[in-house]
Structure 1
Amino acid sequence: MLHAKVKARRKDTLHKLSTALVKEYGVIFIGNVNASALTQTRLAKSVLDASWSAFRTMLQYKCDDAGVWFEEVDEAYSTQTCSCCASRTGPKGVAGLGMRSWRCEVCGTLHDRDVNAAKNILAKGMLSRAVGTGLQGGPTSSSFAAGRGRLAEGISAL
């Protein structure tokens, strides 16, 4: 009984969050985290509890229904690459995972690891849009120009 309540709450929260994001943004890019591979590590319980795959699926079908452009972006090196100068000077390896902030050795910019990764994922997503990949079945460029939600205010994507 308790497990069923937890499952229902998790599902409800994921639905509410994914619906809010789709209503707010006109473009959503996410990193291509391999959740199934992470379930084979010591992080398995956390990954399964977070329901990453279910959340990604919800986002995708809700974006499709709402006409919001959704794309998974290769997130390789997104935490190590400087979002300002594109040099790969960030913390590397298992030891570097504990570093939550770092300073680029080339341009001197101080980065929060997660914010920097998000900026790099956004840049890769926008680049793929500019090149023209991922547009099959998605909104036209004129619907992007018209804007939707925060996209119209100049905040490009999530």
Structure 2
Amino acid sequence: LKKHNLAQSISDVSWSKFTTQLEYKAKWYGKVIKKVDTFYASSQICHCCGYKNEETKDLNVRDWTCPKCHSNHDRDVNASINILMQGILAN
């Protein structure tokens, strides 16, 4: 895996195989896999009011306060709530 292009291809195939297996097992157990868009700005959106904070694009910002509703957010917890809600709302 010393060659970057080859490593990327192997990684892509591995991820694809993992998602295929995950979908297979979900179907086996009567569950559904819902995919959230890769570019969904989950850590920038306030899960309380929906305000999109463009200033949180920097990954060094680990927590932030929403200027609209004044809720304090941990970046990862906020993102996980937003991704959960996207999954619930997705058709």
**How far apart, CA to CA, are the structure 2 residues paired with 1:58 and 1:116?**
28
- CA RMSD, 1 decimal: 2.5
1:61 to 24, 33, 36: 24
Question: Alpha-carbon deviation of 1:57?
Answer: 3.3
**How far apart, CA to CA, are the structure 2 residues paired with 1:116 and 1:86?**
11
**How far apart, CA to CA, are the structure 2 residues paired with 1:58 and 1:113?**
30
1:7 aligned residue? none
2:82 aligned residue? 120
**How far apart, CA to CA, are the structure 1 residues paired with 2:32 and 2:74?**
27
Matched residue SS, 1:102: strand
**How far apart, CA to CA, are the structure 2 residues paired with 1:58 and 1:118?**
23
| TM-score after normalising by structure 2 | 0.70
**How far apart, CA to CA, are the structure 2 residues paired with 1:61 and 1:99?**
37
Number of residues of Structure 1 aligned to a counterpart in Structure 2? 80
Does residue 98 (structure 1) correspond to residue 60 (structure 2)? The answer is: yes
Matched residue SS, 2:77: helix
Q: Where does structure 2 lack aligned partners over 5 or more consecutive residues?
A: none
Higher relative contact order (CA 8 A, sep 6+): 1
Question: Alpha-carbon deviation of 1:80?
Answer: 0.3
Question: Alpha-carbon deviation of 1:70?
Answer: 1.0
1:84 to 44, 48, 66: 48
Question: Alpha-carbon deviation of 1:91?
Answer: 0.4
1:32 aligned residue? none
User: Structure 2 vs 1, CA of residues 56 and 110 (structure 1 numbering), >3 Å: closer, same or farther?
Assistant: farther
Matched residue SS, 1:126: helix
Q: Where does structure 1 lack aligned partners over 5 or more consecutive residues?
A: 1-38, 134-158
1:78–1:116 Cα contact (<8 Å) kept: yes
Quick check: which one's helix share is greater?
1
| TM-score after normalising by structure 1 | 0.43
1:74–1:121 Cα contact (<8 Å) kept: no
Matched residue SS, 2:33: strand
